[in-house]
Chains A and B, each alone.
Chain A
Amino acid sequence: MNFFEYAWSVLPALLSGAGATLGLFAIVIVLSLPLGFLVTLMAKSSIFIFRWFAKAYIFVLRGTPLLLQLLFVYFGLPRIPVIGDYLILDRFPAACVAFTLNYAAYFAEIFRGGLLSIDKGQYEACQVLGLSKFQTTVKVIIPQMLRVSLPPVSNETITLVKDTSLLYAIAVPEILHYAKVAVTRDFRITAFVVAAAIYLVFTFVLTLIFKALEKKYKRGSDIKEKK
């Protein structure tokens, strides 16, 4: 079999692994963005304990490897005395939990930066126009925060695609797993190339989506990006 014939023959197996990759990706994005925003709100809250919790959360989750967090959720949580029995998760759900918690911390930090970049004049304009705090947040602050946050969120999202390969560590069969199986079985590294191509297609499509989003929301942006 030549390269292409062989590549074609391993593709179905790898694509079946892509299901886990895509599934994890989709679940984590949908859950971690709102959770991240919640943590941002906590970090900005006037209630001390919320602020403290948010800061500690961001510090720990960004300061330790995702792989460690993944292993901890899957292997570690069930061993916690008393409550451990209630924390036994299957491999895939465990990965969803670990990834979501981790990515929420990154997104929280991005959103926090986005909020900081909004001029206080925006809040004042809302106040003198009679908008409530809630209306101000929803109609004026969040849209601007999202726009500023879009490029860094896009970066994190692409990192997430690649991070899904960490599923390998807790033996959830995904793209990389099937590639490794093929490589070991057939003594050919072509399957790794095919795996790389699948990841590239994912990240390429995401890049296009975010480019389009950025273009859509770029209109009229005079927000200074403070980093």
Chain B
Amino acid sequence: MLIDVKNINKYFGKLHVLKDVSMTVDKSDVIAIIGSSGSGKSTLLRSMIHLETVDSGSICIDSSYLVKDGVYAPKNEIGAITSKMGMVFQNFNLFPHMSVIKNLELAPMLQKKMSKEEIRAKAESLLDRVGLLSKTDAYPDNLSGGQKQRVAIARALMMDPEIMLFDEPTSALDPELTNEVLITIKELAADNMTMVIVTHEMGFAKDVAKNIMFMDNGEFIEKGTSSEIFNNPKHERTKAFINSIIK
């Protein structure tokens, strides 16, 4: 098991955003989390990679506890635990003052685990993989949204994550640009990357995810294979959500 989330609770003030949420992710799983806006999907994903802190429960990443029964690992160990994961944001969060290749190289350069030449070679091969080798020296502002997101994916891959977390990777994109990003993610799936994807793209979720989890109001109401969830939803609210989104 790569990720084991057990009974986590999260409050924003009085707002109970995650209610005793549990989920597990095995190696090479591709899990899509769906649910209406405000149901807590982002908060769950962000909690896994320590962008939010939970109030109780446990999160175990590749058999190291990030948080165990509400108690976090020591500060100096957290970085090593979360480094198993890469994250792709809705708004890309590329560094606007750096060229595409520098965006990819920054973190590995600071980490100093590889030589400059190795880092450059790796960055170029990843840019090639997402189809953007020609944009090596471009600045983020001169890229389309779809290109930015593919650069963001390549940047995350530079750190060799075992797990990739995607938080609505195509929601900020014009509809005609979503496909290129979805294709990139599908290619990762084909390479057996373990992924947790929050998405509103139902067709994509159906296609790429082995398991779909429906979140509503801070809880997982239904989990299942994509055909179970889409063709035969058991819960009323899942039905309502799926009907609302497949217009």
**Which residues of A sit under 8 angstroms from B98, Cβ to Cβ?**
220
A222 cross-chain contacts in B, Cβ below 8 A: 96, 140-141
B141 and A221 form a contact (CB under 8 A): yes
A9 at the interface (CB under 8 A from B): no
Binds B, one of A26-34, A128-136, A170-178: A128-136
| Min CB gap B61→A, angstroms | 13
Which residues of A (105-149) have their CB < 8 Å from a CB of B?
119, 121-122, 124-125, 127-131, 135, 139-140, 143-144, 147
> In the complex, which residue of chain B has the Cβ closest to the Cβ of A118?
B96
Q: In the complex, identify which listed stretch (B106-114, B175-183, B190-198, B220-228) lies at the interface while the others stay far away.
A: B106-114
The segment from B22-30, B64-72, B79-87, B208-216 found at the interface with A is B79-87
| A residues near B95, Cβ cutoff 8 Å | 122, 125, 140, 144
B residues adjacent to A (C-beta < 8 A): 49-51, 79, 82-83, 85-87, 89, 91, 93-99, 106-107, 110-111, 139-142, 155-156, 159
Other than A128-B51, A128-B85, A128-B156, give 13 A-B pairs with Cβ distance below 8 A: A121-B91, A121-B93, A122-B95, A125-B95, A127-B50, A129-B107, A129-B155, A130-B107, A130-B159, A131-B110, A140-B95, A220-B96, A220-B139
Q: Does A185 have its Cβ within 8 Å of any Cβ on chain B? A: no
The one of B79, B86, B96, B107 that contacts A223, using a Cβ cutoff of 8 Å: B96
Closest 3 CB pairs of A and B: A220-B139, A125-B93, A121-B93
Nearest CB to that of B79 among chain A residues?
Answer: A130
Docked pose: A217 CA to B97 CA in angstroms: 8
Point out the residues of chain A lying under 8 angstroms from B156, CB to CB: 128-129
Residues of A within 8 A of B91 (CB): 119, 121
Please name the residue on chain A nearest to B87 by beta carbon. A128
Q: Interface extent on A, as a size class?
A: 20 to 34
User: Which residue of B51, B89, B110, B111 contacts A139 across the interface (Cβ within 8 Å)?
Assistant: B110
Interfacial residues, chain A to chain B (CB-CB below 8 A): 119, 121-122, 124-125, 127-131, 135, 139-140, 143-144, 147, 217, 219-223
Show 25 A/B contacts (Cβ-Cβ < 8 Å), sorted by A.
A121-B89, A121-B91, A124-B51, A124-B89, A128-B49, A128-B86, A128-B156, A129-B106, A129-B107, A129-B155, A130-B79, A130-B107, A131-B106, A131-B107, A131-B110, A139-B106, A140-B95, A140-B106, A217-B97, A219-B139, A220-B96, A220-B97, A220-B139, A221-B141, A222-B96
Indicate if the CB atoms of B110 and A221 lie closer than 8 Å: no
Known contacts A124-B51, A128-B86, A130-B79; A144/B159 CB under 8 A: no
Do A130 and B83 form a contact, CB below 8 Å, given A139-B110, A220-B139?
A: yes
Interface centre among A122, A129, A143, A223 (most CB of B within 10 A): A129
Residue in contact with A220 in the complex, picked from B82, B107, B141, CB distance below 8 Å: B141
Closest to A221 in B: B96
Q: Measured between C-beta atoms, what is the minimum distance from B220 to chain A in Å? A: 24
Residues of A within 8 A of B107 (CB): 129-131
- Closest partner residue, chain A, to B111 (CB atom): A130
A220 touching B89, Cβ below 8 Å: no
Point out the residues of chain A lying under 8 angstroms from B49, CB to CB.
128
- Residues in B whose Cβ lies below 8 Å from that of A131: 106-107, 110
Enumerate chain B residues within 8 angstroms of A128, measured Cβ to Cβ: 49, 51, 82, 85-87, 156
What's the least CB distance linking B54 to chain A, in Å? 16
Contacts of B86 in A (CB 8 A): 128
Q: In this complex, what residue of A is CB-closest to B140?
A: A220
Give Cα A131 to B87, complex, Å. 14
Q: Report the bound CA distance from A129 to B85 in whole Å.
A: 9
A218–chain B nearest beta-carbon distance, Å: 9
Chain B residues within an 8 Å CB radius of A221? 96-97, 141
Contacts of A122 in B (CB 8 A): 93, 95
In the assembled complex, the CB of A21 is this many whole angstroms from the nearest CB of chain B, namely 34
Q: Check A135–B141 contact: CB distance below 8 A.
A: no
Closest A residue, CB atoms, query B49:
A128
State the Cβ distance, A127 to closest chain B Cβ, in Å: 7
Q: Is the CB of B87 within 8 A of A144?
A: no
In the bound complex, how far is the Cα of B107 from the Cα of A140, in angstroms? 11
User: Shortest CB–CB separation between residue A46 and chain B, in angstroms?
Assistant: 15
Give Cα A81–Cα B142 distance, bound, in whole angstroms.
61
Query: How far is A223 from B106 in the complex, measured between Cα atoms in Å?
Result: 20
A203 to B48: give the CA distance in the assembly, Å.
Answer: 54
